[in-house]
Amino acid sequence: MNIVNPVLPGFNPDPCILRSGDTYYIAVSSFEWLPGVRVYQSKNLAEWEHCTDIITRQAELRGNPKNCSIWAPQLSWHEGLFYLVYTDVKSSRRPFKDCHNYLITAPGIEGPWSEPVYLNSSGFDPSLFHDADGRKWLLNALWDYRIPEGNKSSGIVMQEYDAVQRCLIGEPAKLFDCTPLKKTEAPHIYRQNGYYYLITAEGGTGTGHAVTVARSRELAGPYEVDPLNPMLTSRDNPGWPLQCAGHGSLVETPGGEWYMAHLCTRPVGGEYAILGRETALQQVYWNEEGWLRLSAGGHFPQLEVPAPAGEHAPPRRPNRFEDTFDGPQLKQNWNTLRILADDSWCSLSRRPGYLRLAAGESVQSLFRHHILAIRQTDVCFRAETTLEYEPRNYLQMAGLLLYLNDENYLYAYVTHDGQGRVLRLMKCAADHFSLEPEAVPLGDGQPVHLAAAGEGAKGQFYFRTGDEPAWTELYASQELGFLSGGFTGNFIGIAAHDMGRFAGSHSDFACFRYEGKD
């Protein structure tokens, strides 16, 4: 059996992999989407399922800019406790970066998780190393605003963490400077073969991304860089199917095999990372000189790698998701922007069998955008929803969204143009807003069915009303390449907005379906 990459398709970046007993876990970044820090689990490294999300009540994200909020969680386990360290980024506008690092613990992966312990704000991508002598050390990338041009990561710093006092003690010490690849971040330390191995990401999270490995006999260094650095990268082969390879972490199987989880992208049409940054696995080993190497040889990430000995799994199938809103709570896969879903705006009880969304602020709001969305996990997909909505004016709208961030989205929505209920399509690409000039009359009282289909970098919206069996194209097909870039990936969601009066209207959704296609 082979592991087929990416193992976590769609927006699942900055993976941290961990084994506890016979279960593997991967925690990924969530940025402005809540609940935060999605965690997946597996028994064989090939089949992964979403098991929990960790950040719920611990963070206040309202007002945080796009591509900020929850970065690069690191999950560890020591003496009966799970530890999670993460960054809450409040601003990344150069030359500064307001990034606050926190630590929480729990007896089990599903919690209950402790209240956050504030650690520092000197940089991002925190990592906690549990040494054999019982001492704990926090590592993070160091941000230096004084660097005149480009990225301002200046290396990795380390400081001791006192688990009894629940605070950092002593002074931070510089552990590692950047290699010529620069942009050093995402530190992880592993003890192996009498060495401390420092795994970092370098080269930036785009096409120059790479994994750098260095080692030292002493925790505090000095660290010797792998003579064949980088250990993993796609930077010198722009046609390789997995791009942006970097941000790696290691796990050892019970049988003594080693694997690296890492970030990657699959550019659609060789250009657009519409699905965002994904997670892949590579089989690795320690060579005779004690350096980490890909089992496949070279430094390019592979689309398929051998699974651990004795493991078997059925072939992968396209992803499917459906919520008919007839249960006591929303399905686990949903995400919201900067605020959690609660009964004040997202109710399954006010009209049983439907999801009632109270209208929020505009589609570009950074505070109370009332949207429920899921990750696009397939290059080709179709999503459908049915809603009942009776807007009274053009400021009220509800419908189906393809959403990267507040500057890049497509929105098919029901609204009112002064003459009656209509269907419209708005687009924002690189913060340039446009609106299809001709509205589609709908009439009143009938449910509206909306669909969106993606075929690579092309997309098409559809609609029908009432009991009509046939779908009608909504305007022309759309180029989707602009739903790419930044730190997240495209989401597909349902939403309601009212710019006349906050929560002044509501929409009832009967269902939502998503299906990937081969």
Cis omega (within 30 of 0) for bond into 35 = yes
- Letter for the amino acid at 140? N
Cis omega (within 30 of 0) for bond into 6 = yes
DSSP 252-303: E-TTS-EEEEEEEE--BTTTB-TT-SEEEEEEEEE-TTS-EEETTSSSPPPS
Q: What's the token pair of residue 25? A: 């876990």
- Letter for the amino acid at 477? S
Q: What's the farthest any 2 CA atoms get from each other in the chain?
A: 77
**CA-CA distances (angstroms) from residue 92 to 12, 86, 98, 278?**
21, 16, 6, 22
417 is a catalytic site residue = no
56 touches 340 (CB < 8 A): yes
485 touches 337 (CB < 8 A): no
Task: Report the alpha-carbon distance of residue 362 to residue 398 in Å, rounded.
Answer: 11
Q: What's the token pair of residue 455? A: 């075929």
The β-bridge relationship of strands 278-286 and 292-294 is antiparallel
Task: Report the alpha-carbon distance of residue 217 to residue 219 in Å, rounded.
Answer: 7
Q: What's the token pair of residue 447? A: 């449910």
Q: Which of 53, 185, 226, 278 is catalytic?
A: 185
Residue 153's nearest CA partner among 181, 132, 128, 131 is: 181
79 is a catalytic site residue = no
DSSP 454-494: EETTEEEEEEEETT--S-EEEEEEEE-TTS--SSS--EEEE
Q: Which of 14, 88, 406, 508 is catalytic?
A: 14
Question: Catalytic amino acids?
Answer: 14, 185
